[in-house]
Amino acid sequence: MPDSENSATPVTFPPAFVWGAATSAYQIEGAVREDGRTPSIWDTFSHTPGKTVGGDHGDIAVDHYHRYREDVAMMADLGLGAYRFSVSWSRVQPTGRGPAVQKGLDFYRRLVDELLSKGIKPAVTLYHWDLPQDLEDAGGWPERDTAYRFAEYAQIVGEALGDRVEQWMTLNEPWCSAFLGYASGVHAPGRTDPAASLRAAHHLNLAHGLGASALRSVMPARNQVAIALNSATVRPLSQDPADLAAARKIDDLANGVFHGPILHGVYPESLYVATAGLTDWDYVLDGDLTLINQPLDALGLNYYTPALVSAADAAAQRPRADGHGSSDHSPWPAAGDVAFHQTPGDRTEMGWTIDPTGLHELIMRYTREAPGLPLYITENGAAYDDKIDSDGRVHDPERVSYLHGHLSAVRRAITDGADVRGYFLWSLLDNFEWAYGYGKRFGAVYVDYATLQRTPKSSALWYGKAARTGALPPLEPAA
């Protein structure tokens, strides 16, 4: 039963709770050749035949680069208190090296000023998967130098925006960058080398640590530095020891590989053992774990659906039901002995099971894992096959129900002692959904991709009311 969905008691939040929405640069900006921007790995990947559904790409996306004032005004009309966006590295530093392109930085200066003028707090993510292609040509995230280039980039953006932006995230979902990008190949740059994916994971961790230090070196002490992890709620199919071992392996590969060094300064010993056939981890140099283990001001958690795993039956051949795209190559290095299962329940258009209890479980885990560290839900949302009705409106009661259930789970976690400071709905706008192209709509705001007209869906109006009142509006009665 989804959390509190049918309760008559209003679900209310603390007065200081942050109500926001999130996007990322390549998914919404467009203008890929304007003002000095050069290709990122997602420009290259999406223009490679067969890599995205329908050959879709982000050349125009939803043209936020030119329509940001309209989009900010819409956020203000909805009553949002914060907006989490990412900076395009190749718009600011086209080759990933050297001085900034001021025209690129100026876009983000204008965007921040527009947000502040409307009373909306900006939250900047420095990296949401769009590595400059020049750095990938030099080896990408499997190369140690990329982490140092990221630190230089972080300093540039911190110097430009740190006087006006107080909330910062270094990386978004480094798991996707490492394992979808370099192991399964369903994300840019499309490589399928499991050993390289583990190197990439370490260098992303190093980039976070170096980037956090770089930000703090140029920004006011009041600013918060965080990271947004897509930590997984991993559940075993049974209590059989083999299934428990399978869940531990996937937990190490989904969670421990990042939160181990970031929060505790160590990689799980069980991760080293499980991956010994692929790598000896000799790229973890003396001092790296100290560099990675920087103090955080907050931790961002992205959540969509739980994972259900078991030991694999060697005799059974089945598709890998992990929800991370179709590929002959797994995003789980050294985990060929693990099977993924579809969890029961209703599903979104992505095929992901709707389970708010997984979000509550995740929040409480990190409340124990990092006591005293404030948490933000930096992404949560759902894709549905939304259509404009004859009345010109977009009714999406399924998304409203999804949001009600997951926000109720957040409130229950707060009641249970978790320090959750805010929630960023994914996503503000329908947009380019990576390898799925424009076929999956996560937005609270509908975008007509032919005209780029924006239409707030009923979920946007519902969420806006929650943001203005600090309480979840009731669900409409089922028809």
- Round to whole Å and give the CA distance between 293 and 116: 32
Given this model, what pLDDT does residue 227 score?
Answer: 98
Nearest to 89 by CA among 188, 186, 9: 188
Active-site positions? 173, 379
Given this model, what pLDDT does residue 478 score?
Answer: 53
Residues (pLDDT < 70) of the chain are: 1-8, 314-319, 477-479
Phi, psi of 306 (to 5 degrees): -80, 170
Evaluated on CA atoms 186, 230, 6, 466, the torsion sign reads: negative
**Residue 413 forms beta bridges with which residues?**
none
For a pLDDT cut of 70, what percent of the chain falls above it? 96
Given this model, what pLDDT does residue 187 score?
Answer: 98
Given this model, what pLDDT does residue 166 score?
Answer: 98
pTM: 0.97
